Structure 1
């Protein structure tokens, strides 16, 4: 993938990231019609999306890959502290073990969930949408 503008900690997509996502959709689904979507109409709140697109068109969007990340926490460190990190160093984050973790889709926080371990794998149980 070509070098792209990175989202550095901001939970909202930059205009460049949004343009790249829209270009990717246009490349993969050139036959989708262009429509004006009402500005404050959350998906699912009304049947607006279902009336604008056929069931097949909506289903075809299911093939778009999105990056999903789980944010366990954050911290701020001095450059001298970072340069002294070694194998075995412990970095303390700003979240308690029982706090909900952030779920990010393409760099944007969309939900929060409970961190779990199932069959030796980390996983997240979604508790709320933002």
Structure 2
């Protein structure tokens, strides 16, 4: 392996360690500001997605995949998402 390959491999390794924000979107809603101001504990916001619709996985705000939500098993159950589809990048 020559020096250029070693540098490229080291650079790629460093880049792969950069943290990125991952979000899972289960739905959205558009509300007038008056409705937002009136929110309180117990308020319900109706989302645009049906319960069975795929969640959208965003990486740094860009959609990269779709998935299904589930709850993990064990002593400390957590919400999780199982990837069902990779979204092709948009130009």
Give the TM interval when normalised to the shorter protein.
0.7 to 0.9
Higher strand share: 2
Counterpart of 1:66 in structure 2 is: 20
Structure 1 segments of 4+ aligned residues over 6 angstroms from their partners: none
Once the two structures are TM-superposed, the CA of residue 56 in structure 1 deviates from its matched residue by 3.5
Matching residue of 1:77 = 31
Is 2:56 the partner of 1:102?
A: yes
CA RMSD across the alignment: 1.9
Partner of 2:80: 123
CA distance in 2, matches of 1:56, 1:96: 45
Instruction: Report the number of matched residues.
Output: 80
**Separation in 1, partners of 2:12, 2:37:** 49
- Structure having the higher helix fraction is 1
TM-score by length of 1: 0.56
Matches of 2:51 and 2:71, distance apart in 1: 13
Determine the structure 2 residue equivalent to 1:43.
Answer: none
**Separation of aligned partners in 1, 2:8 and 2:39:** 54
Gaps of 5+ in 2: none
TM-score, normalised to structure 2's length?
0.77
Q: 3-state SS of the aligned residue for 2:16?
A: helix
